[in-house]
């Protein structure tokens, strides 16, 4: 069969498969998740509901025969693509035209009397129809030359754009609209203005007296202090590791990983145990100085202390990569020309650190604004945006409008931070790694700078060790909060008790339900996150299509949105039809996938930048399609990126709290929500025990992921007992 004929036959089979899926969706599968008011028709499918009086479903049903006819006549024509887009638009319009309580507009009710009864959220039929129509749209675009006619690439672009629109942009838009909803449920600008200009948001009283500042001012002060101190500490750690003969560099790197796999609240609890009113350090200091212990740790000092411990390791990893990437020949050239160590660092090294410093500062600032676990434990009377949003949604008075207004302010702050970072870096070039040799030796730190770095690094290391010593022993003593250090496994039995009887193994500890849910959700979300992230990276790095830059920007936007904003926006968007999935495990998985996808994308793009396109071109020249080339050639070469994406997405799903705290339910509870409940109840030992078990589970799972992914093999020769062996 000729290549053109073979390609035509494959395209025809693909189109028929999408049409068959659409037929299954509208003729067989239940259209709604829950039967809508008015009784169940003879057929639960879209056809059955349309025939029973829900006439707004007829355009979706009619799309099936029309697309089949157009595909048979001219699949590559404009008519087929237009019909596919029209069917997709009909699916979207019918979902929003009729809500749970009736039609969204008067003309809809006049045209369809049955709309007065309302409709529930989409079920398997509705979602399957959406997938089939998106596949037909991608098919039509590929036949029209999109992505150079590559049907797999066109489908990947269409589906990722649709998913980003649905699970990133739509929730933010819905949240923005919720900010303008008044007490009566009507859209109005006045309620938004009154919420936005409320004194408790913007007041500056803390700068002129003992009164408190507004919640936005508090968040900005905390964010700027945290970002500045974390960046300075991270830079000091990076310089000590990269530019001093420090013997225990691997130990320091290991300490930097601990906060990443530490569940929220744990650091805050450990700080309370050490510095609370009855804490070890507080009591010892009060006795030494003969003063009365106070609650000084609750408020800005305690939150800042916890955030420094939590976020400094992240800035350290960012800045360590920046320091190690500086070409040492530039510093050697400076010293050869007569510049001393101080001038070399100030004129050469420091300017080249600007991208890393900007990235670290921005990352710490955003993490501080979005942090929920530490302010909820140590906040006291110091209110920040994340906790204010939380209590607006889950407090005694449910106020989604106020939560939406605060969330939009929080989102605006993070986007402004991104813009300022871009302006600060400007258009200057910071490239130092080229194809030329850079075998020089890195310049040593000036003596004064080395002493200053050690002066801040040593206390930080001591503080980190003290906190994790509390975590290590706190779950296995009677009451760490009261310093009753009697060894016991009672807390472990309370959380993870098991019993082996006639019915087999029985799990009856209070934490098993949340642990099983957390492991299941994380195990599902991690590979999906990696798949979407790596596929997006391949599209951006290897495909050329219209709108590629906008596509890349859209994929990164989800990472810029704080977790608190994500959680509230999902409540606003997916608590009502047409997509009513709040309270299900699906919304937890979706939240993690699109929250963490940019990390996998960036890791994939970095890995693909090191791989020559010629290997992929050779595969395609031999007749392999883009999908097979991606699976058989690209993925084996970027295994480190796959491992990074899997580990990050899994660990983040296991320890996330700011987004999922709004989305958990009694049936689908997460480990972090359970830990938060124990902290609020004052059961610190039980919370620490669970956190310790969670950290051990994560370490074991990371080792398992490493075993499953394997190592990248590049066919290089290896040496064994002094003899060169052939390439593998």
User: In this predicted model, what pLDDT tens digit does every residue of 150-176 receive, in sequence order?
Assistant: 899 999 999 999 999 999 999 999 999
Percent of the chain with pLDDT over 70: 90
Angle value at C-alpha 585, between 582 and 589, nearest 5 degrees: 100
pLDDT, one tens digit per residue, over 487-519 is 888 889 899 988 877 777 788 888 999 999 999
pLDDT computed for residue 233 by the predictor:
92
pLDDT of residue 40: 74
Give the architecture (CATH level 2) of 512-709: Orthogonal Bundle (1.10)
Report pTM.
0.84
Measure the N-to-C terminal CA separation of the chain; round to a whole number of Å: 37
| pLDDT score for 712 | 53
pLDDT: which is higher, 630 or 715: 630
Task: Give helix 215-243 / helix 300-325 axis angle, nearest 10°.
Answer: 40
pLDDT for the residue numbered 727: 44
Distance CA 632, CA 541 (A): 17
Cβ neighbours of residue 287 closer than 8 Å, sequence gap 6 or more = none
- Work out the mean pLDDT of the chain and round it to a whole number: 84
pLDDT level of residue 335 (50, 70, 90 thresholds)? low
Q: So what's the pLDDT on residue 263?
A: 82
Q: Which residue has the higher pLDDT, 419 or 102?
A: 102
On the question of pLDDT at 119 being above 60, the answer is yes
Residues of the chain with CATH 1.10.3720.10: 216-428+447-474, 512-709
**Mean pLDDT calculated for residue range 588-596:** 92
Return all residues near 587 (Cβ < 8 A) that are at least 6 apart.
570, 574, 581, 663
721, pLDDT greater than 60: no
Q: Is the peptide bond between 437 and the residue preceding it cis, with omega within 30 degrees of 0?
A: no
Average pLDDT over residues 315-335: 74
Residue 329: per-residue pLDDT: 66
User: Would you tell me how many other CB atoms lie within 10 Å of the CB of residue 160?
Assistant: 18
pLDDT tier at 720, thresholds 50, 70, 90: very low
Query: Residue 138: pLDDT above 90?
Result: yes
Task: Over range 538-554, report the average pLDDT.
Answer: 85
At the second CATH level, the architecture of 216-428+447-474 is Orthogonal Bundle (1.10)
117 burial class (0-12, 13-18, 19+ CB within 10 angstroms)? middle
pLDDT at 526: 93
306 alpha-carbon distance from chain centroid: 21
Q: How far is CA 490 from the centre of its chain?
A: 35
Residues 156 and 139: beta-carbon distance below 8 Å:
no
Residue 137 has pLDDT above 90, yes or no: yes
- Residue 4, pLDDT score: 63
Report pLDDT for 318. 79
Q: Specify the range with the lowest mean pLDDT, choosing from 81-90, 323-332, 398-407.
A: 323-332
Query: Rounded to whole angstroms, how far apart are CA atoms 483 and 477?
Result: 9
Give the C-alpha separation, 92 to 450, whole Å: 61
CA nearest to 664, candidates 678, 674, 649, 654: 674
pLDDT-derived band at 608 (thresholds 50, 70, 90) equals confident
pLDDT beyond 90 at 58: yes
Picking from 456, 389, 417, 8, the residue whose alpha carbon sits closest to that of residue 216 is: 389
Q: What is the pLDDT of residue 645?
A: 84
Whether 711 shows a pLDDT value over 60: the answer reads no
Q: Phi-psi bin for 664: left (phi > 0), alpha (psi -120 to 50), beta?
A: beta
**pLDDT for residue 426 is more than 60:** no
Q: What is the pLDDT of residues 363-373, one digit of tens each?
A: 889 889 888 88
Q: Which residue has the higher pLDDT, 706 or 44?
A: 44
At 424, is the pLDDT very low, low, confident or very high (cuts 50, 70, 90)? low
């Amino acid at each position: 069969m000729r290549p053109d004929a073979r390609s035509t036959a494959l395209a025809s089979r693909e189109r028929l498969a999408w049409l068959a899926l659409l037929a299954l969706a509208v003729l067989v599968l239940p259209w709604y998740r829950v039967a809508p008011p008015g009784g169940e028709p003879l057929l639960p499918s879209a056809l059955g509901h349309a025939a029973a009086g829900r006439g707004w479903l007829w355009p979706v049903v009619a799309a099936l025969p029309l697309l089949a006819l157009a595909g048979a006549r001219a699949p590559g024509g404009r008519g087929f693509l237009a019909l596919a887009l029209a069917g997709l638009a009909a699916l979207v319009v019918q979902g929003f035209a009729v809500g749970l309580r009736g039609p969204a507009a008067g003309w809809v009710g006049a045209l369809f009397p049955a709309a007065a009864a309302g409709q529930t959220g989409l079920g398997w039929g509705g979602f399957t129809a959406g997938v089939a129509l998106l596949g037909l749209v991608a098919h039509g675009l590929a036949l029209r030359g999109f992505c150079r006619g590559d049907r797999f690439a066109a489908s990947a672009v269409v589906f990722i754009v649709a998913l980003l629109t649905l699970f990133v942009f739509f929730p933010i838009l819905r949240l923005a609209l919720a900010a303008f909803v008044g007490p009566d449920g009507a859209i109005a600008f006045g309620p938004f203005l009154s919420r936005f200009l409320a004194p408790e948001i913007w007041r500056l009283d803390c700068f002129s007296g003992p009164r408190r500042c507004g919640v936005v001012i508090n968040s900005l002060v905390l964010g700027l202090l945290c970002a500045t101190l974390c960046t300075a500490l991270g830079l000091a750690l990076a310089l000590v590791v990269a530019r001093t003969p420090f013997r225990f560099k691997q130990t320091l790197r290991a300490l930097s990983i601990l906060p990443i796999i530490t569940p929220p609240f744990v650091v805050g609890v450990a700080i309370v145990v050490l510095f609370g009113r009855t804490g070890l350090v507080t009591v010892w200091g009060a006795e030494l100085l003969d003063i009365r212990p106070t609650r000084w740790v609750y408020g800005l000092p305690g939150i800042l202390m916890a955030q420094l411990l939590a976020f400094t390791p992240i800035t350290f990893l960012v800045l360590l990569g920046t320091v190690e990437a500086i070409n040492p020949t530039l510093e050697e050239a400076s010293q050869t020309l007569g510049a001393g160590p101080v001038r070399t660092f100030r004129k050469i090294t420091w300017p080249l650190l600007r991208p890393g410093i900007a990235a670290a500062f921005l990352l710490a600032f955003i993490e501080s604004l979005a942090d929920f676990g530490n302010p909820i434990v140590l906040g006291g009377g110091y209110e920040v945006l994340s906790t204010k949003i939380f209590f607006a949604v889950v407090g005694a008075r449910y106020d989604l409008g106020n939560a939406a207004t605060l969330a939009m302010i929080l989102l605006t702050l993070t986007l402004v931070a991104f813009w300022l970072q871009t302006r600060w870096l400007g258009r200057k070039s910071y490239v130092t790694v080229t194809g030329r040799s850079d075998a020089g030796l890195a310049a040593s730190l000036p003596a004064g700078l080395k002493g200053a770095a050690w002066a801040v690094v040593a206390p930080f290391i001591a503080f980190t060790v003290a906190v994790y010593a509390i975590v290590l022993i706190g779950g296995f003593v009677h009451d760490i909060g009261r310093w009753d250090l009697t060894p016991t496994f009672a807390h472990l039995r309370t959380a993870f008790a098991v019993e082996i009887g006639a019915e087999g193994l029985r799990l009856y500890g209070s934490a098993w339900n949340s642990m099983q849910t957390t492991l299941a959700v994380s195990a599902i979300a991690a590979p999906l996150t990696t798949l979407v992230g790596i596929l997006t990276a391949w599209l951006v790095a290897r495909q050329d299509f219209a709108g590629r830059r906008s596509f890349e920007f859209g994929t990164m936007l989800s990472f810029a949105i704080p977790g608190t904003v994500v959680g509230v926006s999902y409540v606003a968007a997916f608590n009502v039809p047409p997509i009513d999935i709040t309270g299900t495990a699906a919304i937890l998985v979706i939240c993690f996938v699109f929250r963490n996808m940019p990390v996998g994308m960036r890791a994939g793009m970095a890995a693909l930048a090191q791989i020559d396109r010629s290997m992929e071109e050779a595969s395609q020249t031999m007749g392999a399609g883009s999908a097979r080339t991606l699976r058989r050639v690209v993925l084996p070469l970027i295994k480190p990126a796959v491992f990074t994406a899997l580990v990050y997405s899994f660990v983040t799903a296991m320890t996330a709290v700011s987004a999922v705290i709004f989305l958990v339910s009694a049936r689908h509870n997460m480990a972090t929500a359970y830990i938060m409940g124990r902290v609020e109840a004052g059961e610190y030992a039980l919370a620490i025990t669970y956190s310790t078990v969670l950290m051990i589970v994560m370490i074991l799972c990371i080792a398992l992921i490493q075993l499953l992914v394997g190592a990248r093999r590049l066919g290089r020769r290896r040496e064994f007992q002094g003899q060169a062996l052939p390439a593998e």
